[in-house]
Structure 1
């Protein structure tokens, strides 16, 4: 790790100006940036400490029913917030699945959605892979047990965030502040595929900071659920995750609207319009849940060592749908 300085800006405008400089990296919870620095993937000359910026903190459920999550809000606070658990259940569940209690007490909403891929080639300081400016994604012919089964190419990383699929399922947007002012982007459109630029995972520009995530109010008829499968239950990133949001007609079992978003299967949180279409317009039962799971994975293209993820993903999607519908899942 190279030597660096820590700079604490007085306000958001100062932080933006600092982050527009080469070698300056944002520091919040610090979980990922310190890992990247120790692995020599990042070599910051300065860490811009965002912890003192009040504009980035806080959790608020507004009178309109809209949820505001400050980028610096702790994951433990999101997981334990009574109103989020009751009205935005998938978001609380996803935050509660992140890592360990110690990391949830330190990690932030912004840090979780902005964390970089956990691919072992990308994280290896001796490998100059495609994401680091090289010309090869070594997962294609190498060890690819944890890599993409959907949306891969030319790089086959998977997006590591637990929280992002749940936020997208609940139609969240991000507020971003930078040198050109403030802009808002739907979180589904914030993340970018390697076909856009294999070296980046999102649309943040130089000097820009995610300040908050806004989740619109949901009708009382909407129910949501987040579910993941992982190798270790103690502390691990998911092999596959899914967030489901269903809107059913009051007093009926007919699905009026659905959102199905998978994590850890693609370079971005992967929304499946095909699965959503399979759920809409009819009575929700196990056969419809199975059809939606099959539709969600119909375009899967597993690599040499990760075909097992297709099977797990189908099961996880089906179980999540059955759970949010209050039906017993096999």
Structure 2
């Protein structure tokens, strides 16, 4: 691990002023001139320890006042500060009572110890998971290299990788919480170094590999997430979340799904269906949504929606099992709505 200085930010303005003093425009640029923000710090310190980033300065934003608040209003919805820990979210009654799929996703994320440390902002801004991408010895496409090591049909270890939108990169975004947030049409509030604030839908917060292979989110080096906002659900909105793992309950996701449906009796009035660990970013399955809308919530239609979701899947040499896995959990999650 390289040497770095530590700065304890006292406000958003203070943190942004500190990063303005560096010459780096890239959040994870491997240069001694770079500065990075740290809140919970779990993902950032992984990158530092592995020598994948070499920051001159780490700016701690964990103790900035006002970023650790959860508030709910029946009209305006839910607001969660970026420094709220996953443990605090897991115990919040408003989330449990009004956003069940999010509550379930949080309680399936990481371990209890990590949930005590991890913040929501850091969770959704973490970098993608791929052992080649996270190895200092492999210069893949995402690190300005000339190949995708995981894609190689004979030597590539790709059993946990993407099956959708995996043309140029097959890594996965690791935040299963983002799956649920996107299903609830959440927005991310971001402040830049000029003090300008913007509110971006989760669907637009993530950047596909086809758009920019070097980015996973729109977040820039001199920007901070301040809060995540979820609209208030209607009284007829129901939701459910399922995560499938290989071994223990705290393992990385092989596939997860969040389903949010506005019902009218036993009919799906509108549907929001998002898949995690299926693509390099959380993937909204428009195909599944269209297959369910204006249909009865039953086994036949749930399976049709699952089939529609997987119609765009292009599995790799070792992860074809994900197609039936997703079909199973998508249909199950839809049926749990009833």
Q: TM-score range by the shorter chain?
A: over 0.9
Where do 5+ consecutive residues of structure 2 fail to align? 25-33
Query: Cα offset for 1:65?
Result: 4.6
Q: 1:221-269 deviations in whole A, cap 9, x for unaligned?
A: 00111111001224211000000001011xx211111000000010110
Report which stretch shifted further, 282-291 or 232-241.
232-241
User: What's 1:207 paired with?
Assistant: 222
What's the TM-score, normalizing by structure 2?
0.93
Query: Paired residues, what number?
Result: 323
Alignment partner, residue 328 of structure 1: none
Residue aligning to 1:309? 322
2:208 corresponds in structure 1 to: 193
Tell me if the contact between 1:72 and 1:108 (Cα under 8 Å) persists in the aligned partners.
yes
Alpha-carbon distance in structure 1 between the residues aligned to 2:4 and 2:260? 44
Partners in 1 of 2:255 and 2:275 — Cα distance?
7
- Partner of 1:218 in structure 2? 233
Deviation at 1:18, TM superposition (A): 2.5
The answer to whether residue 175 in structure 2 is matched with residue 164 in structure 1 is: no
SS in 2 for 1:183: strand
Superposition TM-score, scaled by structure 1 size: 0.95
Equivalent position to 2:252, from 237, 240, 243: 237
Give the alignment's Cα RMSD to 1 decimal.
Answer: 1.1
Aligned residue in 2 for 1:116: 127
What does 1:1-330 correspond to in 2, within 5 Å? 1-20=1-20, 21=22, 22=24, 23-141=34-152, 142-180=156-194, 181-249=196-264, 252-325=265-338
Q: What is the rounded CA distance, in whole Å, between the counterparts of 2:116 and 2:247 in structure 1?
A: 20
Question: Residues 294, 184 of structure 1: CA spacing in aligned structure 2 closer, same or farther, 3 A cutoff?
Answer: same
Could you tell which deviates more after superposition, 129-138 or 11-20? 11-20
